[in-house]
Structure 1
Amino acid sequence: MRPITIFGSIIIGAVSLLPLGVLPILLGGLNDAGLLSKAGIGQAATLELLGLTLGATVGGYWMARGAMRLKTAATALGLVAVNVANAHAETTAAVFLDRAAAGLLAGLLFGAANAIIVRSNNPDRLTGILCGASVVPQIGLAYLFPVLLIPTFGVAAGLYALAAGALIAALFAVTLVDKVGVLKRAERTGNRFSGTVMLYGSATILQAAGLGAAWTYIERVATQHGLGPSVIGLAFSASLASQVAASWLSAWLVPSMAKWPGLLVLVLTQAGFIALAVLTDAPTAFIVAICLFASAACALQAFQMAQIVRLDTTRRAAVLILPMILFGNGLGPLIASFATTEVDVLGGGWAAVAMTAASLLLYVVCASRSTRQRTASHA
């Protein structure tokens, strides 16, 4: 794979994930504008993220079959149009429809990037690089949205910023290839659908659901605790900056590290610091907590990719690991929305802690099973 193709796929993948870093602030702005209720924040996030998951799953295969450049450019321009339409939405139903469509189109873009990454020589390292690169443009937007853009120009300004990002993806479509190779099929005796692989996938979905729930509601949690826009903006920007460092550090370290210990420690870190973010009303503690739980989750993705490649050497399951993460990101806010009310959103945060803790238990079981299987195969 040519370096320019890898670079272009990273840029397009970063654009497709651009809403993730600012989605809590964007949906909070729509809530303040009267277009979403507190529960509607989680529901809108779920629609967008499930659309992203569907698009990423389908896109990984559809984009790879041919005419990838043309498909990517057309999809990106469609995403521009949807975000502009959302900027002029006047009803909750229109917001739901626009965010679902935006998620689907962004998912197709992500599918194009993912199709190239999983066929590279270092998919685990490139996954970490993509996670970090996707966060870089989010850092500035996460501060500008609550501090300048939305207070000054309204929530529509944030949607126009996302449209501009999609336009950049359309321009980078030319760097891609039109078609990529077909991944080899698993043998009948292979472990593509083994119990261990499915258990691993379930744990990954739950971990991502915990992150998605926490990230979606954390801005409203901070507001409920009385933290101001400047603290919230600083917290999100600092968190996103730390995610870049964590992602790139894990991308560098993961090839030489033991996979299971690193993965389990990072999941535990995510659970613990989500809990701290929900509990504290101290600005410094809140900023530290959001930085650490989000960074742990971002660093985790390189370990998740590396471990699934070890569990399924055909890499066919690896194509699905990032869509599973996105599916979990979308499922979590929906579950958390049932634990929130118009006056109290802390229940959504505790739902995030519970989902992350459940994923940790499943990962421990999965690690034990895979270790026993590997020992038996060498006996």
Structure 2
Amino acid sequence: MKQHTVQSSSSVTAGVLVSVIAMAGFLILPLFVGAVAQRFALTESQIGFLATFIMGGSALSSVAAIFWIRKVNWQWSALLALGAMLCGNVLSLWVTSFPAFVVLQCLVGVGGGAAYSIALTVLSDHPQADRCFGFSVAAQVSFQIVGLLGLPVVVAQYGLEAVLGLLIGLEVVALVLLWWLPASGLVMPTSVEKKRVVSSAVLFALLGCFMFFFNVGVVWTYIERMGADSGFSPAVIGESLAVGVAFGVPGALLASWCGERYGRLLPLAVGALIMVGALLMLVGRIDEKSYLLALALYNFSWNFSLAYQYAAVNAADDSGRSVAAAPAFHALGAAVGPGVAALFVSADNFFAVNVLAIAGVTLSLLLFVFAAIKHPNRKTVAA
């Protein structure tokens, strides 16, 4: 069993804020990708592969985190991670070659994945980890709302530099915040440390994270293009994205309020059902109201489910290390999804986006069920 210690509110707050900043580029991915596509004149397939490479760096560093996350000083590690993000984005302001830009953003992803893993592990050590994950998700959604509402006008005037400038500013703030993070986490009993790192239950849960973000990566990369294909103006698309993302806040806060009282499988099943319904609304030619409603339902279920995914991974692993790998599997899914979709989409046919996303959601839920069977507990079995 984990031996929890009560963390200070400042360390939890710092963990939540660093988790937002580490994921900032992905949180505003539609606008970021749009700005990059405009600068480098990318095709639909190139947009998908761009998202794959951006998330690939994050995936690699997050996978590696499971081996070092409990062995290093978190403050100094976060300093290195945030430094990599800052250097990558600053240099991205000056490059004129698209391949060079992709390499630099992969470096940003490496730093972001490491910083996010540290932040999540800080939150996982809290006695009420489920609620802390909910606060983290709510903070991420709040940032999305502000970014998607405020950035379109700025990006239209200043282009990609506006997005990069925002990310650079946030990373400077994070360099200050990281000193409120604890230097290390819980000390695990020797018996737990000697256990294998990845059990079958943990593996199923992590694969569930992978498939869920396979779906998210596909949808989040092409959702702006889907709106444009339906004839919506950039203003309508931007406002719909912002309003839709706003519904993620009550989703995340609801997850935080519910905590473990309904187990984890039942909330995950409800979230999957709502998400599939939202994806079905995006099939074929869509009108503005359907687009807005689908975005609202999708983001509500996305952020409601996300906190329970972290909690499910955390519950399946007595060592407390595997939750650091959850961002890796999220990033891997988000990287692979757009790459697969890029093989099928065209400028006027996004049906593959819906098919791949629905398959990802369904398989994700099944994998979390398998994880619960392999690592049962009272609340999960009851759910």
Whether the TM-score (by the shorter chain) exceeds 0.5 is yes
Equivalent position amino acid for 2:104 in 1: D
Q: What aligned pairs does 1:168-207 form with structure 2 within 5 A after superposition?
A: 168-184=173-189, 193-207=198-212
Return the offset for 1:289: 0.5
Q: State the distance in 2 between where 1:138 and 1:293 align.
A: 14
Listed as ranges, the gaps of 5+ residues in structure 1 are none
Q: Does residue 111 in structure 1 map to residue 90 in structure 2?
A: no
Size of the aligned set, in residue pairs, is 374
Q: State the distance in 2 between where 1:10 and 1:368 align.
A: 31
The residue number in structure 2 matching 1:28 is: 34
**Is the contact between residue 337 and residue 348 of structure 1 (CA under 8 Å) also seen in structure 2?**
no
- Change in Cα spacing, 1:173 to 1:204, as seen in structure 2 (3 Å) is closer
Q: Aligned to 1:242, which of 247, 250, 258? A: 247
| TM-score of the pair, normalised by structure 2 | 0.88
The residue number in structure 2 matching 1:335 is: 340
The percent of aligned pairs where both chains have the same amino acid is 20
Q: Helix, strand or coil for the counterpart of 2:47?
A: helix
Equivalent position amino acid for 1:127 in 2: F
Listed as ranges, the gaps of 5+ residues in structure 2 are 1-6
The residue number in structure 1 matching 2:306 is: 301
Q: State the distance in 2 between where 1:187 and 1:67 align.
A: 21
| TM-score of the pair, normalised by structure 1 | 0.89
The residue number in structure 1 matching 2:275 is: 270
Q: State the distance in 2 between where 1:259 and 1:285 align.
A: 30
Q: State the distance in 2 between where 1:231 and 1:138 align.
A: 16
The residue number in structure 1 matching 2:15 is: 9
Q: State the distance in 2 between where 1:115 and 1:305 align.
A: 10
Return the offset for 1:319: 3.3
Q: What aligned pairs does 1:108-257 form with structure 2 within 5 A after superposition?
A: 108-146=114-152, 148-184=153-189, 193-257=198-262
Q: State the distance in 2 between where 1:69 and 1:193 align.
A: 26
Q: State the distance in 1 between where 2:179 and 2:15 align.
A: 10
The residue number in structure 2 matching 1:86 is: 92
- Change in Cα spacing, 1:292 to 1:167, as seen in structure 2 (3 Å) is same
Greater CA drift, 81-90 or 67-76: 67-76
Q: Aligned to 1:320, which of 289, 313, 325? A: 325
**Is the contact between residue 64 and residue 112 of structure 1 (CA under 8 Å) also seen in structure 2?**
no
Greater CA drift, 91-100 or 28-37: 28-37
CA RMSD of aligned residues (A): 2.7
Equivalent position amino acid for 1:220 in 2: R
1:300-335 Cα offsets, whole Å, 9 max, x none, are 122223333443344333332333223222221122
Greater CA drift, 2-11 or 317-326: 317-326
